[in-house]
Amino acid sequence: MKTTNDDILAIDAVVNLWTPEALSHRPEWRNSFFSGKLNVDNALMDGISLDEMLRRMDSARIERAFLVAAKVGSLGHPATYHLPYELVSNAVKKHPDRFSGLAGVDPTEGMPGVRALERAVIELGMIGAHTYPHWFELAPDHARFYPYYAKCVELDIPIQMQVGQSLLYAPDYPRRSVGHPICLDAVACDFPELKIIGIHIGIPWADEMIAMAWKHKNVYIGTDAHRPPYWPESFKNYVNTYGQKKVIFGTDFPVLDFETTRQDIQDLNLKPTALRSLLRENAEHVYQLT
């Protein structure tokens, strides 16, 4: 019997906590960016409850979501915000069978940030790290990231990082794309034990991201933020063939809607083995959930 999209309870590896409390920590530009540029439903811009998020996950047959305690820009940009680790940790405690937490990384915090990451994992139960290099205008191979990579290896946790172009531009916000996937080459060589997930696919340099995942056994690709119908053909082929074990499903909710994205995945007509690997098994393996 052929495996279908509906047969698999998915793991979404990139999800934003979207409660009203969490949104209160985000900058004022969030509405114009998310609902304007990214076409997020205006009805979501005041936030939703955890129960509503779970309802949406259930409709999309998503069993578990990794909630990001994001840390964004501290180089003097007015968009700076840090989502407290405790907000994500509290959500996980309420629904430990449905949520896991990812600890945001701000490379400009230095050793205090490294210690905070350690506490987030050991005391709060976070299962991985997450960072947006663009917001700091520091490429992933910048020295400021290296203490965090070393700590991730020590803690045996993966780190997600945005690759590809920056999605936001305004005069006072980050303007320089530092997300060329080739920047992961040195990191993967210097930290062969570090599990690296390049999220956002690497668009518009998806082929470069594929090359990094093909070269390095410790490099993976996250599919969030870009709807599957618009994935480059080379990436669709990679997911379905020789990259089956290297790609992890994500939505970056609310950037992508849970249910719409599951239907988009179904429409790709992936091989059963590729479908299972993408939607669930690769995340289970990389994050040691089994």
Q: Which domain range does residue 75 map to?
A: 5-286
- Separation of CA 164 from chain center: 13
Using CA atoms, how far residue 252 sits from 16, 113, 200, 227, 271, in Å, is 6, 24, 9, 11, 24
pLDDT band at 76 (very low <50, low <70, confident <90, very high): low
The per-residue pLDDT for 157 is 98
Element (H or E) spanning 196, and its range? Answer: strand 196-199
The per-residue pLDDT for 224 is 96
Residue 128 or 2, more confident: 128
Q: What percent of the chain has pLDDT over 90?
A: 79
Tokens of 114: 């490294």
> Rounded mean pLDDT of 46-56?
94
Task: Note whether 222 and 160 are within 8 A (CB).
Answer: yes
Span 9-21, pLDDT tens digits:
999 999 999 999 9
47 has pLDDT over 60: yes
> Rounded mean pLDDT of 77-95?
87
pLDDT band at 173 (very low <50, low <70, confident <90, very high): low
Read off φ and ψ for residue 52, nearest 5 degrees. -70, -40
Span 249-272, pLDDT tens digits:
999 999 999 999 999 999 999 999
Span 101-147, pLDDT tens digits:
999 999 999 999 999 999 999 999 999 999 999 888 899 999 999 99
The per-residue pLDDT for 104 is 97
pLDDT band at 75 (very low <50, low <70, confident <90, very high): low
37 has pLDDT over 80: no
Report helix, strand or coil for 214.
helix
Residue 118, domain CATH: 3.20.20.140
> Rounded mean pLDDT of 67-89?
81
* Number of structural domains in the chain: 1
Task: Report the greatest alpha carbon distance in the chain.
Answer: 56
169 has pLDDT over 70: no
The per-residue pLDDT for 1 is 44
Of 40-49, 69-78, 191-200, 227-236, which gets the smallest average pLDDT?
69-78
2 has pLDDT over 80: no
- Separation of CA 126 from chain center: 14
Burial class (CB in 10 A: 0-12, 13-18, 19+), 29: middle
174 has pLDDT over 70: no
280 has pLDDT over 70: yes
In the chain, the amino acid numbered 237 is N
The per-residue pLDDT for 264 is 97
Cα–Cα distance for residue pair 177/138, rounded to 1 Å: 9
